[in-house]
Amino acid sequence: MTKYLYTYAAHEDEQALCQLELRTLFRGAKMGARSLISARRIEPSRSPFIHERLAIEYMTPTLDELVQQVASVQIPEGQTFKVVYYKSGEDVSYEEERVIERSLGAMIRGKADMRNPELLFGVTKHAEGFIFGTCAQSSAIWKHHMDKPQNYSTALSTRLARAVVNIAVPDIEGVRVIDPCCGIGTVLLEALSMGIDIIGRDINPLTTRGARLNLAHFGYPDVVTLGDMREITESYDTAIIDLPYNLCSKLSAEERLSMLRGAHRFADRVILITTEPIDESVAQAGFEIIDRIQVHKGRFVREVLVVQG
């Protein structure tokens, strides 16, 4: 079974979010400060925190042993290659990184191309040893969604939205998802870009119009309907709910509880995003909190709750 090494990084304000996303995507994997190893293969661009994925071909205790192993690498005739060192947690100086790259590159029979290689190999010094393999890099698809035509100041950031989608839907196949307070469609954009079966709904006609404009701008289908989430009758595997919190849509405790009870009827698993304590309402609605983290943006704090019915 092929194993993969993933490198990742997060700002200190998003460390908890990064850890929750990764432990959801890679259940049971041992996570280091900058990397993890897993048998699960996912595209690096799926996460806002993952930088590279190395398909582990060789793992050796020493660099000399790795150099000997890499001598057997076969490059298809006519293709070019490049070897790049990636940081995965072990301290290696810049000079050492270049020595490692040159030592391995010299052993591979083929034409090296430092600018536009057809094959990219990655190497790193890890707690498990020296690791070498073919590399896939993140193309950060989510960054393009930052330039959506409709936006507002209290909307989720694209990074947070993308991570929340991964927390909600670690396994995409056959999962039906709803965002019943979809606003301008920030979560919808990230989910649709991953090929997730999701629909959006919102009670505000202005925001649903904005969501449709944003989806159309990036070539995604109109999956948005206008309506109160408490009127939803279909069932979904997962719901993602960013609870209203701005001055124009301030929720009373009664309204919030009513919304959560509505969510309990149409989804067994829900990811809740809130700016105020809601534990009591979550319990009254029939949910149990499975996991939780905080995301900071200056003094503004959001809490992400994973709840199960």
Say what the pTM is.
0.93
Say yes or no: 35 and 176 in one domain. no
Q: Among 302, 299, 309, 227, which residue's Cα sits nearest to residue 260?
A: 309
Say yes or no: 250 and 238 in one domain. yes
Say yes or no: 146 and 109 in one domain. no
pLDDT of residue 247: 44
Say yes or no: 115 and 93 in one domain. yes
Cα 139 from Cα 197, distance rounded (Å):
22
Cα 69 from Cα 123, distance rounded (Å):
13
pLDDT of residue 191: 98
For residues 229 and 203, the answer to whether their CB atoms sit within 8 Å is yes
> Where a domain ends, among 137, 154, 187?
137
Q: Among 45, 30, 52, 303, which residue's Cα sits nearest to residue 160?
A: 303
pLDDT of residue 298: 77
Query: Residue ranges of the chain with pLDDT lower than 70?
Result: 245-250
Place of tokens 């925190």: 49
- Coil vs helix vs strand at 158: helix
pLDDT of residue 252: 82
For residues 136 and 121, the answer to whether their CB atoms sit within 8 Å is no
Torsion of CA 225, 229, 231, 233, to 10 degrees: 80
H helix or E strand, kind and range, residue 172: none
> Where a domain ends, among 122, 137, 152?
137
Say yes or no: 231 and 255 in one domain. yes
> Where a domain ends, among 137, 155, 188?
137
Say yes or no: 152 and 300 in one domain. yes
Say yes or no: 172 and 304 in one domain. yes
Say yes or no: 167 and 59 in one domain. no
- Which residues constitute the domain of residue 122? 4-137
Q: Pairing between strand 197-202 and 176-179?
A: parallel
- What CATH number did the domain enclosing 243 receive? 3.40.50.150
CB under 8 Å to 43, separation ≥6 — which residues?
A: 53, 136
Number of domains in the chain: 2
pLDDT of residue 153: 73
- Compute φ and ψ for 150, nearest 5 degrees: -110, 130
Say yes or no: 130 and 263 in one domain. no
H runs (alpha helix) in 71-176: 94-105, 158-168
pLDDT of residue 163: 97
- What CATH number did the domain enclosing 17 receive? 3.30.2130.30
pLDDT of residue 246: 52
Say yes or no: 61 and 170 in one domain. no
